[in-house]
Amino acid sequence: MTQTAQQMDKETVRARLQENPGVILEALARNSGFSMAELIELLPEEMWKWTDGSRFIEIMQMLSKLGKMTLVMNTPDVIMEFSGDIPSGSESNGFYNLDYKSPMHGHVRAGNCKSVYLVERPFMKSQTLSIQFMNEAGEVMFKVFAGRDEKRELIAEQVEALRSIFRDGGVGEVV
């Protein structure tokens, strides 16, 4: 658990997430003393799956083929979103380098990714599906959300592709 002035016990947090799984997890993490990874694992079991962070590059390369999605970085000071095609990338000098020709580009320390979660839960009256990349401390490096069609429904092909990462890789809930 992270250190904070207001510690909550695991069962209190689990009950809160059962009652309202659409709560802003980052705010709950700050107030409860739990990391984001710990909170995800307290969501109802049917809302999350896990795989090892060693699959970071494989997953990023797959995401680059799925069309328009939304990448989110959430800090205490800013929530930054990019909607568009996730760029392809390559590994060099300890980084996964996103294609600089893309509107979104940059460098990610791929080796810092220790786990990846598929999270399917309601948020702001809509069903969401995201891939969340976690560092060793259990904090979110960034999230990638499935895109939506003109009716604001999740794009079925993306949903299936994202779920397949966890199904085909032989992974699931943490055991």
Cα–Cα distance between 43 and 110 in angstroms, integer?
Answer: 26
pTM of the entire predicted model: 0.88
Structure confidence at residue 171 as a pLDDT band (50, 70, 90): very low
In a domain, 92, yes or no: yes
Structure confidence at residue 101 as a pLDDT band (50, 70, 90): confident
Number of domains in the chain: 1
The 10s digit of each residue's pLDDT in 65-91 is 999 999 999 988 999 999 999 999 999
In a domain, 66, yes or no: yes
In a domain, 132, yes or no: yes
The 10s digit of each residue's pLDDT in 117-139 is 999 998 888 899 999 999 999 99
DSSP secondary structure, 100-122, as one string:
TTSSS-EEE-GGG--EEEEEEEE
- Token pair listed for 29: 């993490």
Question: What's the CATH number where 73 sits?
Answer: 3.40.1570.10
In a domain, 17, yes or no: no
In a domain, 89, yes or no: yes
Domain span at residue 157?
48-168
The mean predicted confidence, pLDDT, of the chain is: 89
In a domain, 159, yes or no: yes
The 10s digit of each residue's pLDDT in 13-39 is 999 998 988 888 998 998 888 999 999
In a domain, 24, yes or no: no
Say if residues 171 and 50 touch (Cβ distance below 8 Å): yes
Cα–Cα distance between 160 and 170 in angstroms, integer?
Answer: 15
- Token pair listed for 16: 């809160």
The pLDDT of residue 174 is 37
